Amino acid sequence: MRLSYGWAVVGAGMLMTCLSVGSMFSLAVFKDPLSAATGWSQTGVSGAMTIDFLCMGFSAFIWGVLSDRFGTRAVVLAGTVLQGIGLVLASRASSLLEFQIMFGVIVGSAAGAFYAPLMATASGWFENNRSLAVALISAGMGSSPLIVAPTTRYLLDAYDWRTAMMIIGIALWVLMIPAAMVIRRPPSAAASAGSGAASDGYTLSAGQALRTPQFIAIALTHFCCCAAHSGPIFHMVSYASACGIAAMTAVSVYSLAGLSGLGGRLLLGLTADRIGAKPTLVAGLLVQAAAAGTYLFVGRLGEFYALSVVFGIAYGGVMPLYAVLVRDYFGPRIMGTLFGGVSAMASLGMALGPVAGGLVFDTFHAYNWLYVGSFGVGLGAVAIALTFRPLRAAPAATPQPA
C-alpha cells in the first residue's frame, strides 16, 4: 500500500512541476507577440523572467520551511492558487511595470512552492528507489518545454496573448488543484510530526543544519552547477545560429538537449540507486564541465546534435541528486527547509548564466569566453562536490520494498 501510494505522489508531483515551471517559462513563447501587441520593449518583457528566477529562488526557501511545518499538500495548493492568480492578473496588465510585478513577482514566487517541497516529500516515500523517485519529479519539470511551450504556441495562434495567458492560468487551477489533493506526507514523516520528536534518528534542528559544512558544500555545488550550464543552455540557439545553422534547426538543437535531459534524469537516478548519489553526481558534473568547454570546438549541425545529447544527459541527470544528498545527510524531518535553501542557491546560479553570456557577447561579439567560464565554474562544482563527507553515521532504516 505504501509503495503504491508513493508512486501516486510521484505522478502528481511530475504533473505539478511540469505545469508550474512550464507556465513560467511560457514567457519565452509569449515574448514576441506580447511585445508587438503592447509596444513594451523586449528587454522589459524579458526582465520579468529574471525577476521570476530571483523570486523563485528566494521563495523556495520560505515554501520549504512552510512545507516542513504545515505539510506539502498545503504548500502546493497555496502555490497553485497564487500562480493562477498571477497569470490571470498578468494577462490584464496595462503597463510593463504591472506585468513585471504580476508575472515576475507573483508567478515566480508561486513557482518556488513546488520543486523543493515535492522532492522532499517524494524522497520520504522510498528507500531503495529514492533516486529514481526524485528523478521522476525532476523529469516532470524538465518535460515542461516539450508540453507547455507547444500548447502556448497553439493558444497564441488561436487567440490574442491576453486570452491565451488567462487560459493557461485557469488551466493550472483545473489540473493542479486535484493533483495537489493526492499529495500526502510519508508515513514516517507524519509519525515524526505527530510525536513532535526527531524519531528518525537525525537530531539536528534546521538552524543547526544550515550552518554545517555539508549543507554549505551542497548549496555551493548546486549554485556552481547551475551557473555552469544555464549560460550555454540559454544562449544555445543564438550560438548555433551564429555558426550558420538555420533558426528553426537551431531550435531543434535546444529541444534535443531538453529531451536528453529527461533521459539523463532517469539514467543517473537509476545509477545513483546502485552506486550512490555522490559518485554519480561527481561523474555527471565532470561530464557537464567537459561538454560546456567542448562548445568552443563545434560548428556543424551534427556536432551540435551530438554535444546536445551529452550535455543534456549531464546537466539534466545531476539535478535530482542534490535532493538525495540532502535527504541522506539530514533526514526527512527538515528536508523541505534545507532543500529549499539549496534550491534558492540553484536559482541564483540559473539567473547568473544568461546575464553573464549576454555581457560576454556584447563585449567580445562572440561566446568563446562564456564557454571557458562555464568550463571553469563546472570544474569548481566538481571540486566542491569532492569535499562531501557524511555528517554522521546514518540511522538504521527499516527495510522497505521498492
Average pLDDT over residues 188-201: 51
The cell for 137 is 519529479
b/e per residue, 335-348, with b = 16+ CB within 10 A?
bbbbbbbbbbbbbb
Residue 394 pLDDT exceeds 70: no
Of residues 161, 142, 24, the one with CA closest to residue 83 = 24
Give residue for cell 510525536. 195
The greatest distance separating any two alpha carbons of the chain, rounded to the nearest whole angstrom, comes to 63
Residue indicated by cell numbers 536528453: 260
Q: How many residues does the chain have?
A: 402
Q: Are the CB atoms for 4 and 174 separated by under 8 Å?
A: no
What element of type H or E holds 388? none
d(CA 126, CA 130): 5
User: Of all helices (H) and strands (E), which one includes residue 250?
Assistant: helix 247-275
Instruction: Quickly state the pLDDT bin for 2 (edges 50, 70, 90).
Output: very low
Q: Are 222 and 345 in contact (CB under 8 A)?
A: yes
Tell me the CB-side half-sphere exposure of residue 55, using CA atoms within 13 A: 22
Q: Three-class SS string for 134-148? A: HHHHHHHHHCHHHHH
Q: What is the pTM of this model?
A: 0.74
* 8 A C-beta contact, residue 226 and residue 353: yes
Average pLDDT over residues 46-69: 84
Closest CA to 243 of 368, 379, 56, 381: 368
Say how far apart CA 243 and CA 219 lie, in whole Å: 35
Q: What are phi and psi of 235, to 5 degrees?
A: -100, 10
pLDDT band for position 290 (cuts 50, 70, 90): very high
Amino acid at 6: G
d(CA 111, CA 63): 10
pLDDT score of 391: 65
Per-residue pLDDT averaged across 251-264, rounded? 82
Alpha-carbon distance of 235 to 31, in angstroms, equals 16
Q: What is the predicted pLDDT for the residue at 305? A: 94
Tens-place pLDDT, residues 18-34? 999 888 878 877 877 88
Residue 107: C-alpha distances to residues 52, 112, 243, 270, 346 (Å): 7, 9, 35, 33, 18
Which domains does the chain show, CATH number per domain? 1-185 (1.20.1250.20), 204-391 (1.20.1250.20)
